[in-house]
Homo-oligomer: A and B are copies of this chain.
């Protein structure tokens, strides 16, 4: 039996930020950092909202954090009992990631006896607007208690403040806080209701950043004094009637009670696990890390929407501007596709619905078609700055080229849509904008194609591949391959549209000169230069890569003058060497393993892996996957564990130059899943049929998982020398 609980005993101030990520709860609508009830913005409390952004002044646009309706502070005999201020006798926080329950228990020694807080909370998976908490006070003496609980609107922001104003009021015992944002005057409403199993004197206290009740009462040693809190979060984007809805939601749940809501929440999670749990016999550590990763993916899946995607740091805060990267399509998609394809569809709809933004971006660079945002926010707005890193030596912003040169982003969108169609057989997405999306992405690449006048092939110059340490390179293998893929898929779509023979497809066809486009894309796919293996089987990452200095990661690291300095850019320690940030050629080969023979895959794994810093959490899983394709599950294993444990260990990079980049790593979580199922599990599809080719690591006795494929749920059992695919009942 594996342990579905993550715990931390004792209080370590250094771990506060990390624990906020590690013990995160969420339900796709919001994420609640694993912080304590008495914490405030200084301790990086955040109730991070999905898909709603604000920009204040010249700062970066970033997602909103809602006012914190969970806030609760305990005073006993006039003294505050809180962390990190008052050293506890005992302290423990825990996350039951099977049931998505956060808990804490803290005991202090007071002059008159022991004071204990025990609390549990969850972000309801059944009701995305709801947070619920049970907060208990236990004392072994008659304590004079003042409990301050309500809504703390003094929220943590990286580039805030985002609320110009708040209004606070009380209505029939419910506390209500409404904040108005700076840029688009959106409103965020938090309603709070509170029940106690004791009688107390209440006083309401409102200042410019909070609305609080102050309850005074005297405890006795015999029982637990329980406060149950219900918090509803709505925004003006959810409904015009957001405030009344919030109050109604609180009232409804207060009526049915904590246990009922908790049960419904747990039931929902059990439904998820019934399909998505991955069982690994013989390796509890791997099974725990992997399912913990899946917990995070479930927690941020936007089930409340039919068109929304996932930020690179999930719902763990405002890092990376809450923006959507290629992470979603290339790393997280498989998990949702296999276990909950509706979520996959929602993620892709977000891309389809932001096509206009991508077309605007392309136009702004003088290109045609759709150039998706490198850091996508509402409407496909690219939140990526031209100055994304700060020079540690001069304090100056450094011109970076992620936004304008990382053109492989558009191909990731195409890759996601096509994978969805291939896997689900659901062509309707094509007719709902998917076709235009794919065609416009192909048009984008087409408009970038360069032909040397004296050569007969097409090239893509001045790009950044997945390895961001080498900027503005020509003919990055990964990028060119993905562009070719895009052309091929666009040709397929142009054919498919005719086949579908529907009104919509006729409309789409009418928009384009179908035959001309098809011819162009066929020509482009045929002539686009794809780097080929040299005599040793090595594929050059980009033109001239092999002429760069060949040194070890350690040597390059030793050249750092400042541990926070950026390795890339024009003069970074890695820039003029062969040291790369993350899987690049390896990513290509992991995605298209049949492009070359196994020998070639192997040669490139061995060539590039030692040259990789793995400075991105997207790196390890690609090497793990490719190692599986090379029949080396043992070599894959440590990279798999690294991916699966990214948020358990908290070892990821916290800084890029002078900028904080901490948070959860859902792409690593998704990558771990891909490695387990597609890599070790060897799951693949041939002509729409599901196949497996087990590549289990030596210690694994058995791998069991379920996947939902074209409407049917299958259970797959694999051992080293056997496998069984069977349909599940119902």
Contact = CB atoms under 8 A, between A and B. Distances in A.
Nearest to A569: B570
Interface string A433-472: 0000000000000111111111000100110000000001
B452 A576 contact: no
A452 B447 contact: yes
Contacts of A569: 570-571
A375 interface: no
Given A453-B449, A454-B449, A571 B396 contact: yes
A561 interface: yes
Contacts of A448: 452
Nearest to A445: B453
A450 B449 CA distance: 10
Nearest to A523: B453
A170 B396 CA distance: 62
A561 B395 CA distance: 10
B454 A453 contact: no
A545 to B, nearest CB: 14
Contacts of A451: 450-453
B462 A453 contact: no
B454 A447 contact: yes
A394 interface: yes
A524 interface: yes
A296 B394 CA distance: 41
Contacts of A393: 393-394
Contact of A462 (B447, B462, B561, B575): B462
A398 interface: yes
Looking at A391, A394, A569, the one whose CB has the most chain B CB atoms below 10 A away is A394
B570 A368 contact: no
Contact of A450 (B396, B452, B524): B452
Interface in A371-406: 391, 393-394, 396, 398-399
Nearest to A448: B452
Contact of A576 (B399, B446, B561, B571): B399
Contacts of A449: 452-454
Contacts of A454: 368, 446-447, 449
Contacts of A453: 446-447, 449-451, 458, 520, 524
A60 to B, nearest CB: 18
Copies of this chain, how many? Answer: 2
A447 B576 CA distance: 26
A569 B569 CA distance: 11
Interface string A264-275: 000000000000
Contact of A571 (B368, B398, B524): B398
A552 B589 CA distance: 50
Looking at A462, A561, A570, the one whose CB has the most chain B CB atoms below 10 A away is A570
Nearest to A366: B543
Contacts of A399: 570-571, 575-576
A368 B453 CA distance: 12
Contacts of A575: 399
A417 to B, nearest CB: 24
Contacts of A458: 453
Contact of A461 (B446, B462, B576): B462
A178 to B, nearest CB: 40
Contacts of A452: 447-451
A453 to B, nearest CB: 4
Nearest to A565: B394
Contacts of A396: 571
Nearest to A443: B454
A452 to B, nearest CB: 6
Nearest to A397: B571
A446 B520 CA distance: 25
Interface string A107-148: 000000000000000000000000000000000000000000
Interface in A191-221: none
A561 B394 contact: yes
Nearest to A471: B570
B446 A391 contact: no
Nearest to A364: B547
A683 to B, nearest CB: 38
Contacts of A561: 394
Contacts of A450: 450-453, 461
A642 to B, nearest CB: 31
A494 B126 CA distance: 81
Interface string A351-368: 000000000000000001
A447 B450 CA distance: 13
A723 to B, nearest CB: 47
Nearest to A453: B449
Given A450-B452, A452-B450, A453-B450, A571 B462 contact: no
Contacts of A461: 450, 461-462
Contacts of A368: 454
Nearest to A365: B544
Q: Which 10 A-B pairs have the closest CB atoms?
A: A570-B570, A449-B453, A393-B393, A450-B450, A451-B451, A447-B454, A398-B571, A394-B561, A451-B453, A399-B576
13 contacts: A368-B454, A394-B561, A396-B571, A398-B570, A399-B570, A447-B452, A447-B454, A450-B452, A450-B461, A451-B452, A451-B453, A453-B520, A461-B462
Interface of A: 368, 391, 393-394, 396, 398-399, 446-454, 458, 461-462, 472, 520, 524, 561, 569-571, 575-576
Given A393-B393, A449-B452, A461-B462, 15 more contacts: A396-B571, A398-B570, A399-B571, A399-B575, A399-B576, A446-B453, A446-B454, A447-B453, A447-B454, A449-B453, A449-B454, A450-B453, A461-B461, A462-B462, A569-B570
